Chain A
């Protein structure tokens, strides 16, 4: 039994931690929160230089060819510091879409650029309120041109291209669309977490290139979301652990009625509940990473379990962290808002808790029917 990260992977974690604590303090995150920039370009450049965007891209496309265990480690550490960069869109969604369905030519065109950070990718599926399904997609492609509106698209305002889920004469398909060409207009939209930029993208007869088989867009979305769910879960867990640590540290130093509030059972039990949920989420994430790194048939179950567990952990940790801080936790000045915002954003970005609970039970049903 070896259900642990390897020594090399732990070493990578230490490097990532050290790098991020030097270069992604909450001061850096707050600069994006309070300023007009969509993401921290300096941090992004350094992340690219460290090779993180190239991590799982095969060497033949100028990537590092590392495993998803390494990427999991990176994801957790990025989540722990609420990194204000388009990593999840470009790496977990756009890169994964190309790896899963790209033609040789498309891979050659895009993967080396994604690896070296000269382009940023994003994933455009949602078209407004409520859960998406094949029947809610109204963005349309005809004769190689795309028209319609996508909102919200994470990092849609800063990406160079998007993987767009659209309707065509074969049903629902995935398209690769350059966002810098004609027929594309985009505007940044204000969101729950300004440290992660989102956009509305309007396509008006922009040129679109089929990605994967026509009519297989929804299957591709499912596949990419399942894989991304595990990495989102690690980010979410990193964020939840940061919230727990913030609450713990504050409770040790804050005195009320003559003693640290950490000595009250009401606070202890609150933080233990968080610790328990984080621990359960972590073990589910381990299993998810194992499934992802081995392409196991259990992946859909493992992904949904990791995602649901991490969503629940993130919510509990981030809201009870504010509660532990009392009034100060509610102020703009304190950092409690960072995990609270990020946690909720992560938990709705690629489908909410209810969606993934349903996916989990459906996947278990399919497994048992097989």
Chain B
């Protein structure tokens, strides 16, 4: 066991470091740009030098790099805080992490040559129109209809929880094309121009006050049959390609609340007349979080070792979100307890660490839901890793339009 790069990896890391050091945009360059413009500036610069979406084939805007090289690149890029909250990730992660792999697997070469380089260069931003008010965890219960009309399809319905729909240029989406067959069989998959007439985007305000998600209403929206991915009725299978990549794209985004922060905080605030860090209850809790955080970190090292050998990471890589998201919620709640009454203060001027713990407390419930709830993640691990059977599904084999619904 060792933590060192192989000679090839070390050479690649050195190359990445040198390029980043010479090309990272400085504060002055980004001044006055909004987060989208700043993210686009950085993405374009990487693209022009061959450092964007590096694992993609060259013809699609990448450089055909290996998965371990991608990790090395992300480690090195991650050392720079491009914009204050690292928004570059948020803007492109769905397009690069989920839409592109789906396109590569199912679109024509002509389509990929046309769209993927623009996605890699940051010229276009993509989003994902999957969830619906009636289909979240049970995604295949979605109801938005598409009806064939000549060479086109006409779409009517509503999508929800769409990250970045308000600034996206294209979307991937799953639609119901046949409600008379069992639910998984009546779906078809498309990609669509978000500027198409009939698309209306309304932001959803979250508990935290922010608005990263949207409702997307589709009214008589027309899409060409040439933008269908996979066969009519094969939408679920195509969606699986996207979902398999989703777990890799949604991190546990801690917003800076981690063991180190809470450990430091416990040294600064008192319980009774002593620093909280001297309280044995606090110490035991900190120990528990340390082993979770260290466990996830070394899980990551094990996955990297597999990638480094050209293998696929083992099942240990599937637990990250299931551990990380509840941990963030519990740690931020605990930090507020340590702050005692002043934990209530969100006002950046008066609060400890500029409201970091308060914001994490308000944001963390979303992480336990996005990209598969804790409960769905547990089902996936039970079924795929432990090989346990699926739950009984009362809608199995029943035509979609005969399945009981909540209204």
- What residues of chain A have their CB less than 8 Å away from a CB belonging to chain B? 1-5, 69, 248, 251-252, 259-260, 262-265, 267-269, 271-273, 275-276, 279-284, 286-287, 289-290, 293, 304-305, 308-309, 312, 354, 356-358, 360-361, 364-365
Nearest-Cβ distance from residue B393 to partner chain A, whole angstroms: 10
| Shortest Cβ gap from B47 to chain A (Å) | 27
If A275-B381, A283-B297 are given as contacts, then 9 extra A-B residue pairs at C-beta distance below 8 Å, sorted by A number, are A2-B2, A3-B298, A4-B1, A69-B1, A268-B379, A268-B386, A268-B391, A283-B301, A357-B284
B382 CB within 8 Å of chain A: yes
For A279, the closest partner residue in chain B by CB is B316
Q: Are B284 and A281 in contact (CB under 8 A)?
A: no
Q: List 11 A–B pairs whose Cβ atoms lie within 8 Å, in order of A's numbering.
A: A262-B388, A265-B375, A265-B391, A269-B382, A276-B323, A280-B291, A280-B299, A358-B280, A361-B277, A361-B290, A365-B277
Q: Which of B106-114, B153-161, B302-310 contacts A (4 or more CB under 8 A)?
A: B302-310
Measured CA separation A364–B375 after assembly (Å): 34
Decide: A289 and B1 in contact? CB cutoff 8 A.
yes
- A134 and B397 CA atoms in complex are apart in Å by 70
B288 within 8 A of A: yes
Residues of A within 8 A of B263 (CB): 364
Residues on B with C-beta less than 8 A from A280 are 291-292, 295-296, 299, 319, 323
Which of B288, B299, B387 is in CB contact (< 8 Å) with A357?
Answer: B288
The contact of B392 among A5, A263, A309, A361, by CB within 8 Å, is: A263
A272-B381, A283-B299 known; A357 vs B5 contact (CB < 8 Å): no
Point out the residue from A260, A279, A286 that lies within 8 Å of B1, measured CB to CB: A286
B3 CB contacts on chain A under 8 angstroms: 1-3
Residues of B within 8 A of A1 (CB): 3-5, 9, 68, 301, 304-305, 308
Chief secondary structure at chain A's binding surface: helix
Q: How far is the CB of B295 from chain A (nearest CB, A)?
A: 3
Q: Quick check: is B407 within 8 A (CB to CB) of the other chain?
A: no
Q: Which residues of B contact A269 (CB under 8 A)?
A: 375, 378-379, 382
Known pairs A263-B391, A271-B382, A275-B385; A284 contacts B287 (CB<8 A)? no
Q: B316–A283 contact, CB under 8 A?
A: yes
In the complex, B18 has a CB within 8 A of chain A? no
Provided the pairs A268-B382, A361-B287 are in contact, do residues A283 and B389 lie with their beta carbons within 8 angstroms? Answer: no
Q: How far is the CA of A5 from the CA of B308 in the complex (A)?
A: 14
Is B218 close to A, CB under 8 A?
no
**A282-B391 in contact (CB<8A):** no
Query: A261–B102 Cα gap in the complex (Å)?
Result: 36
Q: Mark B362-403, 1 if CB is under 8 A from A, else 0.
A: 000000000000010011011101111111100000000000
**CB closest chain-B residue, reference A276:** B319
Question: How many Å from the CB of A352 to the closest CB on chain B?
Answer: 11
- Report yes or no: B291 in contact with A272, Cβ–Cβ below 8 A: no
Most A Cβ at <10 Å: residue of B1, B263, B302, B378 = B1
> Which 3 A-B pairs give the minimum distances between C-beta atoms?
A280-B295, A268-B382, A283-B298
Nearest B residue to A353 via CB reads B284
B268 in the interface, Cβ–Cβ < 8 Å? no
| Contact A287–B391 (Cβ < 8 Å) | no
CB of B137, distance to nearest CB on chain A (Å): 12
Greatest chain A CB density within 10 A among B4, B291, B386 is at: B291
For A245, give the chain B residue with the smallest CB separation.
B386
Contacts of B389 in A (CB 8 A): 252, 259-260, 262-263
- Decide if B391 touches A3 in the complex (CB within 8 Å): no
Instruction: Determine the chain A residues whose CB is within 8 A of the CB of B301 once the complex forms.
Output: 1, 3, 283, 286
* Contact of B388 with A284 in the complex, beta carbons under 8 Å: no
Q: How far is the CA of A251 from the CA of B386 in the complex (A)?
A: 11
B305–A271 CB distance below 8 A: no
Q: A308 near B381 (CB under 8 angstroms)?
A: no
Q: What residues of A have a CB within 8 angstroms of the CB of B305 in the complex? A: 1-4
Contact of B388 among A248, A309, A358 (CB under 8 A): A248
Q: Which residue of A lies closest to B291 (CB)?
A: A309
Q: How far is B101's CA from A145's CA once the two chains are assembled, in angstroms? A: 75
Query: Chain B residues near A69 (CB, 8 Å)?
Result: 1
Closest Cβ of chain A to B309, distance in Å, is: 8
Report if B322 contacts A (CB, 8 A): yes
Residue contact A283 to B388, C-beta cutoff 8 Å: no
Instruction: Check A264–B378 contact: CB distance below 8 A.
Output: no
Find out whether the CB atom of A361 lies under 8 angstroms from the CB atom of B286: yes
- Residues of B with C-beta under 8 A to A356: 287
Q: Would you call B319 and A279 a contact (CB within 8 A)?
A: yes
Taking the closest CB of chain A, its distance from the CB of B322, in whole angstroms, is 6
B118-129 interface bits toward A, Cβ cutoff 8 Å, 1 = contact, 0 = none: 000000000000
Query: For the complex, what is the distance from the CA of A252 to the CA of B392, rounded to whole Å?
Result: 14
B58 to chain A, nearest CB (A): 26
Q: Which residues in A have their C-beta under 8 angstroms from that of B382?
A: 268-269, 271-272
Asked whether A271 and B386 contact (CB < 8 A) given A280-B323, A357-B288, the answer is: yes
B280: A residues at CB distance < 8 A: 354, 358
Residues of A contacting B286 in the complex (Cβ-Cβ under 8 angstroms): 361
Q: For residue A267, which residues in chain B have a CB less than 8 angstroms away from its CB?
A: 388
Question: Once the chains are docked, how many angstroms separate the CA of A3 from the CA of B387?
Answer: 26
Tell me the residues in window 238-283 of chain B with beta carbons closer than 8 Å to chain A beta carbons: 263, 277, 280, 283
What's the nearest-Cβ distance from chain B to residue A79, in Å? 18
User: How many angstroms from the CA of A356 to the CA of B4 in the assembled complex?
Assistant: 30
Cross-interface CB contact of A284 among B291, B308, B378, cutoff 8 Å: B291
A251 to B387, CA, bound (A): 11
CB neighbours (8 Å) of A304 from chain B are 287
| Residues in B neighbouring A358, C-beta threshold 8 A | 280, 283-284, 287
Residues of A contacting B299 in the complex (Cβ-Cβ under 8 angstroms): 279-280, 283
